[in-house]
Amino acid sequence: MKAIITSIIFGLAALATPASAESKQAPKDIVDTAVAAGSFNTLAAALKAAGLIDTMKGAGPFTVFAPTDAAFAKLPKGTVESLLKPENKSKLIDILTYHVVSGKVMAKQAVTLTKAPALNKKDIKLAVKGGALVLNDSAKVVTADINCTNGVIHVIDNVILPPSK
């Protein structure tokens, strides 16, 4: 899961950087963008384990708050490995879909919102703190507006966990 998210985020960042080789190629969907970035390997693995690859390659549009591999590494030891087990698939799906909002929400719009409904039907709290967009008081958007053919990626520095309710 961590690797998948990280691959997605870095792939998107590569596309957003005009000088990069990736930016000169045809636009890619969210999954391919993340994988190409190289910093979303955990996220990519998690999407695969959850059976969400086809969904995230779908028409969308989607807004993905993509944690990097480094963000996944901040979770308690063994968490990612546990989530990738087949018996924890429903929990993994809940966490991954909590990082995705239906529609294409660019940073300019996101900073005006106080919450966003995730695909898992739970709200993500949004706030601007210290000039950065922050999710649930715990994850900061470090790279915004990575355009993809089926949405946009915003790279975040921590994994956000859905409320238990």
pLDDT tens digits, one per residue of 87-140:
999 999 999 999 999 999 999 999 999 999 999 999 999 999 998 999 999 999
Tell me whether residue 73 is in a domain. Answer: yes
Going by C-beta distance under 8 Å and a sequence separation of 6 or more, which residues neighbour residue 90?
none
- In this structure, the chain runs to a length of 165
Residue 41 domain-assigned (yes or no): yes
Asked whether residue 11 is domain-assigned, the answer is yes
d(CA 5, CA 107): 19
User: In sequence order, what are the beta bridge partners of 115?
Assistant: 125
Q: Is residue 18 part of a domain?
A: yes
The owner of tokens 């961590």 is: 2
State the pLDDT confidence band at 27, using cuts at 50, 70 and 90: confident
Radius of gyration of the chain (CA): 14
> Which DSSP letter does residue 122 get?
-
**120 part of a folded domain:** no
Q: Which domain holds residue 68?
A: 2-105+141-156
For the chain, the domain total comes to 1
In a domain, 13, yes or no: yes
The residue-averaged pLDDT of 59-81 equals 93
Domain-located, residue 112: no
CA 49 to chain centre: 15
CATH number of the domain enclosing 15: 2.30.180
In-domain check, residue 6: yes
E strand or H helix at 154: strand 151-156
* Helical spans, DSSP H, in the chain: 2-16, 30-37, 41-50, 53-56, 69-73, 79-83, 89-97, 107-110
Q: Coil, helix or strand for 101? A: strand
Average pLDDT for the chain: 84
71 class by beta-carbon count within 10 Å (0-12 exposed, 13-18 middle, 19+ buried): buried
Mean pLDDT of 3-28: 44
Residue 148: half-sphere exposure toward Cβ, Cα within 13 Å: 36
Tokens of 160: 């956000």
